[in-house]
Amino acid sequence: MPLNRKIGYVNLSTGEIEVKPIPRELRKKFIGGRGLDMYLLYNHTEPGIDALGPDNVAIVSAGLLSATLSSASARTHVAAKSPLTGAVGSTNMGGFFAPEMTWAGFHHLLLKGQAEEPVYIWVNDGKIEIRDASHLWGLSTRDTQHALHEELGPEVQVLTIGPAGENLVRYANVMNGMKNAGGRSGMGAVLGSKGVKAIAARGTMDVEIKHPEQALEYDYEVIKHISGTKFAQIMGKYGTMFIQSVTNSTGLVRTQNFQHNQLLDAEPIECENIEDYTFGTVGCFGCIIHCRHRYMVDGIYDEGPEYTSQGAFGWEVGCNDFETVLRGNHLVNHYGLDILETGSMMGWAFELYEKGILTDKDTGGLKLEWGNTDSVLELIRQIAFREGIGDVLAEGPLRAAAKIGKDSLKYNIQVKGMSNLHSDERPTPALALGIATGTRGSDHLRSRPAIDLYHLPVPVLEQVYNNPVKYEGKFTSDYRDYEGKPWQVLWQEMMYMAIDCAGVCKYHCVFLSPNLMNFEHISKFLHYNTGLELSPREVWDVAERCYNIERMFNAREGFSRKDDTLVDRYFDEPTTRGLDIVRGRTIDREKFKGMIDEYYELHGWDENGLPTPATLERLGLDKEPSHIL
């Protein structure tokens, strides 16, 4: 049964390994995946620790529905204190690793301490070993996987870091396969600091399904519905790149750092261009959507690109060249860098260069000029290997700004020290609130009510957002409004947390389409597959509990209302491009403050953004850390 999967503790300093069952009471409270990881993170760290030191932990997990008869249950989650922000570190990725780890008998691995020499962790049918990885150190993410396939067999799934993680780039990612990347918040750097090059998993331990016939029938029903939606058809043809058709056409993308909100004449990087490079689409474990292309450029295969690739190597750096998008996408995957943070840091550096804050002397002669594709590709390499200006940019927004000095920080587009997506939220208050309040820093994947962009009729919004908990206020269809938006952000926080606990892909829930899975579906999938009985409202309660423990972690590190904000440019610089409906837009400071107030109140947090004692008691968090696991 999924509920009998265990947790393995690995002490890299002493070599000790311990395996424990996961108590059912914790499953009921946190389910698994991201939620249980956050419980473990809060319980196994002390405030103020060095994120790149031995006292930090790195937690790798599968969701509770991993490798069950629930579609797209492929997600792997990695958690630690973030070396980028000092807040919650958390990243979620697709691929095949989590199901393999589940078949190997484990849902969670908690790594602590630091190895003296490079190691990899071998997880196989109930056993965990620490093995020498000196022969792997220095290899790219793809070469590491090839080497471990040679060593352990082709069926093995590998989670690995690349040179960027070894070099402690504060936004290094973890990778599985060609492009499945856990990018955000620097989890690759945490593994690198521990000397862990990779985790390899192979398992043959069956996952017994509680009610197999019903589970299969229900999954078929859901698949049939999802595959019939327009969203799934478009996503299956173009992947996330299709989003650009809406956002750049409207004027909702962060262009040349933050100077504009639209890349003009963008036809060369529109998603339809992939048709000249693709060999077809591929998907993660158990997924029907197949949202990324396998493509070739310069004789090298890779997968993607994503919407984020278009942003990072397109509008962010003023490039209008699809092959630069494809090449940049490959390089970040190859070196193990977070694509979003890399693109944002480059866009910022280009603007600093334009303003004379960075000069040729700082860049070693590299011309950081808008549209200079050679500089874009070279700068990716320099960041990964911490060479020249790349060594400064590898430190992330706040530390790099401190090193560069002058007034460089005011041009950086970040929240809590993590860069914003390559989108421009000045015309969209709901999306702006979401990035401002994210627990891991600026975040489009943990709270974004993306369907707000679709101008949905109010009755549809009510049907989506009043379940399983009703909102007493009013919704508005206009994405430029402020009313009702705090609830939409909160609702999406709960939705994404619930799906992350289950280990199912966000593209199967209410994210980019209102017609996909919600709390009721997660409740049923849990019942049929695991026997864990949680009503839709109880799934919501779990999500709220997990979200609050993330907030508690941040509070313990000193984060509060002062950090739930946007950089001044959102309030002071109006948008310059796009359709008339989005031109000249800024975020209204007073209305934004009002949204924050309502958002805190809805959460049961005080005016400083901290969970009140009553809220903690209601959620059963008043005794944390409880050290049950």
Interface residues with other proteins (CB under 8 A)?
225, 230, 233-234, 237-238, 242, 245-246, 248-250, 262, 264-267, 270, 272, 454-455, 460, 463-464, 510, 514-518, 521, 577-581
Q: How far is the CB of 471 from other proteins (least distance, A)?
A: 16
Ramachandran assignment for 32, one of left (phi > 0), alpha (psi -120 to 50 degrees), beta (any other): left
- When the beta carbons of 551 and 577 are compared against other proteins, the nearer one is 577
Q: How far is the CB of 513 from other proteins (least distance, A)?
A: 8
- When the beta carbons of 298 and 580 are compared against other proteins, the nearer one is 580
> What is the C-alpha separation between 232 and 513, in angstroms, rounded?
9
> What is the C-alpha separation between 495 and 504, in angstroms, rounded?
11
Name the residue type at position 502. A
Eight-class DSSP state of 313:
I
- When the beta carbons of 280 and 356 are compared against other proteins, the nearer one is 280
Q: Do the Cβ atoms of 101 and 86 come closer than 8 Å? A: no
Q: 99 is written with which tokens?
A: 């199901």
Q: Do the Cβ atoms of 362 and 352 come closer than 8 Å? A: no
In the chain, the N- to C-terminal Cα span, in Å, equals: 20
- When the beta carbons of 300 and 581 are compared against other proteins, the nearer one is 581
Q: How far is the CB of 322 from other proteins (least distance, A)?
A: 14
- When the beta carbons of 82 and 255 are compared against other proteins, the nearer one is 255
Q: How far is the CB of 262 from other proteins (least distance, A)?
A: 8
Strand partners, 295: 278, 302
> What is the C-alpha separation between 24 and 110, in angstroms, rounded?
19
Q: How far is the CB of 212 from other proteins (least distance, A)?
A: 23
- When the beta carbons of 222 and 497 are compared against other proteins, the nearer one is 222
> What is the C-alpha separation between 227 and 233, in angstroms, rounded?
7
Buried b (16+ CB within 10 A) or exposed e, 145-179: bebbeeebeeebbbbbbbbbbbbbbbbbbbbbbbb
Eight-class DSSP state of 391:
H
- When the beta carbons of 256 and 515 are compared against other proteins, the nearer one is 515
- When the beta carbons of 267 and 590 are compared against other proteins, the nearer one is 267
Closest to 418 measured CA to CA, from 398, 394, 448, 392:
398
Q: How far is the CB of 245 from other proteins (least distance, A)?
A: 6
- When the beta carbons of 237 and 591 are compared against other proteins, the nearer one is 237
Q: How far is the CB of 446 from other proteins (least distance, A)?
A: 21
Strand partners, 296: 301
> What is the C-alpha separation between 120 and 156, in angstroms, rounded?
13
> What is the C-alpha separation between 464 and 477, in angstroms, rounded?
13
Write out the DSSP string of 437-501.
Answer: H-TTSS-SSSS--GGGGG---HHHHHHHHTSSS--SS---S-TT--TTHHHHHHHHHHHHHHHHH
- When the beta carbons of 441 and 514 are compared against other proteins, the nearer one is 514
Q: Are strands 414-415 and 119-124 parallel, antiparallel or unpaired?
A: unpaired
Q: How far is the CB of 468 from other proteins (least distance, A)?
A: 14
Q: 485 is written with which tokens?
A: 């938006």
Q: How far is the CB of 396 from other proteins (least distance, A)?
A: 33
Q: Do the Cβ atoms of 596 and 433 come closer than 8 Å? A: yes
C-alpha of 293 from chain center: 20
Ramachandran assignment for 406, one of left (phi > 0), alpha (psi -120 to 50 degrees), beta (any other): left
- When the beta carbons of 515 and 560 are compared against other proteins, the nearer one is 515
Q: How far is the CB of 250 from other proteins (least distance, A)?
A: 5
- When the beta carbons of 317 and 517 are compared against other proteins, the nearer one is 517
Strands, E, within 188-255: which ranges? 196-202
Q: Do the Cβ atoms of 470 and 417 come closer than 8 Å? A: no
Dihedral sign of CA atoms 524, 528, 530, 531 in order: positive
> What is the C-alpha separation between 619 and 35, in angstroms, rounded?
13
Element of type H or E holding 527: helix 519-530
CA atoms lying within 13 Å on the CB side of residue 339 = 27
Q: How far is the CB of 231 from other proteins (least distance, A)?
A: 11
> What is the C-alpha separation between 170 and 337, in angstroms, rounded?
9
Name the residue type at position 299. G
Q: How far is the CB of 575 from other proteins (least distance, A)?
A: 13
Closest to 341 measured CA to CA, from 428, 437, 444:
444
- When the beta carbons of 390 and 514 are compared against other proteins, the nearer one is 514
Q: How far is the CB of 192 from other proteins (least distance, A)?
A: 40
- When the beta carbons of 516 and 616 are compared against other proteins, the nearer one is 516
Q: How far is the CB of 99 from other proteins (least distance, A)?
A: 24
Q: How far is the CB of 314 from other proteins (least distance, A)?
A: 13
